[in-house]
Amino acid sequence: MATLCRPSVSVPEHVITMEETLELARERHAGHPQLPLALRLIENTGVRTRHIVQPVGETLKHPGFEDRNKLYEAEAKARVPAVVQRALDDAELLTTEVDLIVYVSCTGFMMPSLTAWLINEMGFEPTTRQLPIAQLGCAGGGAAINRAHDFCTAYPQANALIVACEFCSLCYQPTDMGVGSLLSNGLFGDGIAAAVVRGRGGEGIRLERNGSYLIPKTEDWITYDVKATGFHFLLDKRVPATMEPLAPVLKDLAGDHGWDASDLDFYIVHAGGPRILDDLSTFLHVDPHAFRFSRATLTEYGNIASAVVLDALRRLFDEGGAEHRARGLLAGFGPGITAEMALGRWHSADETR
């Protein structure tokens, strides 16, 4: 049975605090009629610090989409290999034992994907399958876990590597003045994560079931408007309320597996903002403490898009993991509005059952 092993996570060295974010918003948008609302929304995110690939001064410039995308590629190639190697080491695998690489990113574009470069640069076998995922945004982390699970179910002896690389700061658009854009300027951060799904062996979450769900007629709620200047992020004000229709979907997935979504041992979910976690606590009837890993990611790193789920899982590992066979839920949410969900049990390395 496929096991999701310890993720490796890295964030860039440049840091911007909540206080700095608010001050920049006041300076750059002093005459904005909805500035007080935007400041209040940013404060309510609970994001204390974010990490970005460039100093703040450089981030605020816009040299053009071409230059930004070149920077995305350069930073990905400079930073991803070390994160991948740590994930492989933690899973006790060699590059030659990986059969599939799932690469998720919605903040830059490369063709061929970074997967091709990784195969050549790090010594993966030429027969390694490649699965790049771009347009699922923040749901990409959950989708990567699910597609790796599907692959290892189809090929029980195989192993899959998941890589999430998000440089959200490279999507900053100084001319976007909507409240949603101003909010995103204070919410998103940069981060890289990698994790292995082993077809056999390993410590972590033994994946048992996964599912996907799209809320009908919400495809324009989270979008990119692609222009000559790059990706312009558009966020509908209705997005924070999406947990009310998605909570029953999570309950149904668990119920179909014979579990109660309100009575699980751990929860690893995408933290798009504090209301996502608050509403899940309410609609699933779960103690808010259950979402402490996701909330810690949001507080310390901001929304790092597809990497959030893997970082939240990394925090569960850092806490010592869970009891053997403890039951848990993983979920990522993103454009569509799409939910990518998985159920699994914790498997300890010293247990053979």
Q: How many domains does the chain have?
A: 2
Tens digits of residue pLDDT in 179-217? 878 888 889 999 999 999 999 999 999 999 999 999 999
pLDDT score, position 351: 64
- Residues 40-67: b if buried by 16+ CB within 10 A, e if exposed: ebbeebebebbbbbbeeeebeeeeebee
> Where is pLDDT greater, at 35 or 71?
71
**Is 221 inside any structural domain?**
yes
Which residues span the domain enclosing 171?
A: 3-198
Tens digits of residue pLDDT in 252-265? 999 999 999 999 99
Do residues 166 and 275 both lie within one domain? no
Do residues 275 and 185 both lie within one domain? no
Give the end of a domain, one of 158, 173, 198: 198
Q: Which of 222, 257, 184, 160 is nearest to 25 (CA)?
A: 184
Enzyme catalytic residues: 138
Residue 352 confidence class, pLDDT cut points 50, 70, 90:
very low
Residue 353 confidence class, pLDDT cut points 50, 70, 90:
very low
Give the end of a domain, one of 174, 198, 222: 198
Do residues 42 and 116 both lie within one domain? yes
Do residues 61 and 133 both lie within one domain? yes
Q: Strand, helix or coil at 316? A: helix
- Residue 264: Cβ-neighbour burial (10 angstroms; 0-12, 13-18, 19+): middle
**Is 352 inside any structural domain?**
no
Q: Which of 5, 326, 59 is nearest to 197 (CA)?
A: 5
Please tell me the pTM assigned to this model: 0.95
**Is 79 inside any structural domain?**
yes
Do residues 257 and 242 both lie within one domain? yes
**Is 170 inside any structural domain?**
yes
Do residues 159 and 240 both lie within one domain? no
**Is 32 inside any structural domain?**
yes
Do residues 190 and 227 both lie within one domain? no
Q: Which amino acid is at 57?
A: G
**Is 353 inside any structural domain?**
no
Q: Strand, helix or coil at 149? A: helix
How far is Cα 338 from Cα 317, in angstroms, rounded to an integer?
Answer: 27
Give the end of a domain, one of 198, 217, 245: 198
Do residues 60 and 15 both lie within one domain? yes
Q: What is the CATH number of the domain that holds 186?
A: 3.40.47.10
Biggest alpha carbon–alpha carbon distance for the chain: 64
